[in-house]
Structure 1
């Protein structure tokens, strides 16, 4: 093929990518504005827009909150496999994992803001730190975690920012704002960046496990009045399911983006990631099994009622249909069946289904436990999200996708073939 033909093909591909990106941003903007109307209404009218009550004080927004915190922690922990443990086969998604972790935390905390009865008092948890409160520690862990993610992402991008600063593009303009004129790339700076990535990643591992998503699980586990939450294994399940959802999300994002851009897909990495994802899922299912088994054998009436509500009531479709069938049986079949375990499209479906399944897990954690009354003399709860709750959720998620999409436009998030395999060495 001649140079002219190659240039024309590149120009055509770039034009198509620009058109698709504009359509994507337009759709997200419409979704954000539609949801934004209901967000404003919620801020004005309070929680009357929801089906929450004194019996069932948490609902969809808290379920989405723990879902996105899990996506963040899982994405970050996956990045540590690259930057701390040197698993370079996943390096193509390294920076995307860190950026995804940041965006997911923004979305998660926005959902918390939506759920607060008095959102203007949000800063009180930071200013008036009750050191005996797990929630007080959790808030401060979040701040440290987000700061660490931002610093680590900047170091991961530094080399690309220095290169981009010399180009006359939008990314080049942003890169010049983020770097100094004296910034250079050489063997010494590469080793320094690699060292700091390893240090920050190592520091971040206990913060993510014990403080962020394990800490989120601890908030639930400390609620003595809810037997289904009040177990020592509960925070561990949160962390493992975070690894499941984070790996699945990054696999799905990578494949979808490459397909839309009509770029080659690293099949070997996708197959390896899918096996890693399936391994985490099997461990998660094992932990959940023992959690349910001990609850059943404990014969505590509130715990048994919670299990019955989750597995044998009008809400059981979420457990059997979403969590177990779509989120576990189908993906594991795809990953381990010889006819599908090498197929990129099939593995993409498996990853998407696992993400959907983990959403079901989060709803099954929050709702059934709160529907069951603390005392049998009290009335049972009856909760399902209102249209307004769903629309607020659509707006918040669209906001997160907009942040990520615009971030990818302005920052060197995506790894190129030339950048992979060095990692500061």
Structure 2
């Protein structure tokens, strides 16, 4: 005869680790299949771009940049922001964020790869890309930027390799953290001044375009990178933890939310001054672009998506005590921040290119074509798929058993606990 304890425990064991692992495998297979399906569905757009060139896009000699450049600076920002968050762990010793340290480094690598894919497809002649490495001019931001990118990617790969070796116990924690601190110390100024600050410099030196030219632009790029990278990692951590049936660590989420709130507050202040200074100076080039952003065809992207959904609402959620204690609202605010930063990138690229540089030329008009959206979906889903595959293969999200909550399926229900007590 089975005891009361055995009868009460049997259903829990049946739905324990083995069934949880089976559900996770099914979810993972479905996730891989969905991403692969998106890539297959958008392969035709990639082929059209490769076979017909830039004629399948809405960019012209007068409107040289569009959606792909916006996505390029968006993913460069995600990469730099994710790496800077990992630096809080490995450089500044804030080991309460170590659970997302490996995910931050992998996100930085994948985001950088996606960014380079976008800017590569935006080039009219692919074969001329390597010429930026063969020829160098000290006054060209692009010449410096390409070399910074290579150093940055190599540093990210080295640091992620060390982090994985530490997680697999193939290297002592002390030695691994020491080397990661060295690499991170080199990488922080490289990410700030070279990678995303350098990307902002490419725009900031263009004197003919309003709202680009100026010393504040690279700083804005760096701060928005921290905002987007922190929001991305918070969202990835929460979704991945829930997907495998675990309880997200509330302290970790609140710590990341505090970093996000601080960065977002600084970003709001910089945005205020970005528009206040040209308005007070009555600089007609900048005022023209501000008018296009605020009252032109993309007004909704500026007021609703960038400022409203992407900045003001998430900031209020993250600073109001009654709201920031609710994990689901914090995660939703992070998702809104990512969407808002994407709108920022489009508002940076498109409006300043609409007015003609030479007086008398017609105004430009731009709307991404289905091919541009298809290629964008291909690269983004491809990046997510690569991240998911690497995460499944390497211990990117593996928790430390001592401090990670147990799986939901392993936790006894209230009814079970009462029966065992009885």
After TM superposition, the score normalised by the length of structure 2 is 0.91
The structural deviation recorded for 1:82 is 0.5
**SS, match of residue 225 in structure 1:** coil
CA distance in 2, matches of 1:257, 1:228: 39
Do residues 226 (structure 1) and 233 (structure 2) align? no
CA distance in 1, matches of 2:38, 2:44: 10
- Pick from 239, 243, 250: which aligns with 1:260? 243
- Pick from 360, 366, 369: which aligns with 2:343? 360
Say which is worse superposed, 218-227 or 204-213, in terms of deviation. 218-227
Structure 2, unaligned stretches of length 5 or more? 405-422
**SS, match of residue 340 in structure 1:** helix
The structural deviation recorded for 1:93 is 0.3
The structural deviation recorded for 1:356 is 0.2
Do residues 64 (structure 1) and 71 (structure 2) align? yes
Q: How does 1:93-108 map to 2 (within 5 A)?
A: 93-108=100-115
Q: How does 1:194-205 map to 2 (within 5 A)?
A: 194-205=177-188
Match in the other structure for 1:171: none
Do residues 312 (structure 1) and 312 (structure 2) align? no
Confirm or deny: 8 A CA contact 2:48 2:371 kept in the other structure. no
CA distance in 1, matches of 2:357, 2:35: 41
Match in the other structure for 1:244: 227
CA distance in 1, matches of 2:159, 2:147: 18
Cα deviation digits, residues 8-34 of structure 1 (max 9, x gap): 411111111111111110110011122
- Pick from 356, 361, 366: which aligns with 1:383? 366
Do residues 114 (structure 1) and 114 (structure 2) align? no
Cα deviation digits, residues 255-295 of structure 1 (max 9, x gap): 11111222011011111211210110110111111111112
The structural deviation recorded for 1:359 is 0.2
Confirm or deny: 8 A CA contact 1:92 1:420 kept in the other structure. no
- Pick from 154, 161, 167: which aligns with 1:147? 154
Confirm or deny: 8 A CA contact 1:35 1:396 kept in the other structure. no
CA distance in 1, matches of 2:194, 2:45: 32
Do residues 30 (structure 1) and 13 (structure 2) align? no
Confirm or deny: 8 A CA contact 2:84 2:226 kept in the other structure. yes
CA distance in 2, matches of 1:419, 1:404: 26
Confirm or deny: 8 A CA contact 1:89 1:269 kept in the other structure. yes
Confirm or deny: 8 A CA contact 2:67 2:368 kept in the other structure. yes
Say which is worse superposed, 59-68 or 294-303, in terms of deviation. 294-303
Match in the other structure for 1:325: 308
CA distance in 2, matches of 1:100, 1:335: 23
Cα deviation digits, residues 213-266 of structure 1 (max 9, x gap): 000000000111113100100000000000000000000011111112220110
Structure 1, unaligned stretches of length 5 or more? 163-183
Confirm or deny: 8 A CA contact 2:311 2:340 kept in the other structure. yes
CA distance in 2, matches of 1:65, 1:320: 23
Cα deviation digits, residues 82-102 of structure 1 (max 9, x gap): 011111111110000000000
CA distance in 1, matches of 2:403, 2:198: 34
**SS, match of residue 64 in structure 2:** coil
Larger Rg: 2
Do residues 126 (structure 1) and 133 (structure 2) align? yes
The structural deviation recorded for 1:420 is 6.2
Match in the other structure for 2:414: none
Do residues 137 (structure 1) and 144 (structure 2) align? yes
After TM superposition, the score normalised by the length of structure 1 is 0.90
**SS, match of residue 339 in structure 1:** helix
Q: How does 1:42-53 map to 2 (within 5 A)?
A: 42-53=49-60
Match in the other structure for 1:19: 26
Confirm or deny: 8 A CA contact 1:213 1:235 kept in the other structure. yes
Q: How many residues align?
A: 397
Say which is worse superposed, 125-134 or 51-60, in terms of deviation. 125-134
CA distance in 2, matches of 1:233, 1:419: 45
- Pick from 320, 334, 344: which aligns with 1:351? 334
CA distance in 1, matches of 2:167, 2:274: 46
Change (3 A) 1:295 1:217: same
Match in the other structure for 1:395: 378
Match in the other structure for 1:269: 252
CA distance in 2, matches of 1:10, 1:92: 22
Change (3 A) 1:381 1:420: farther
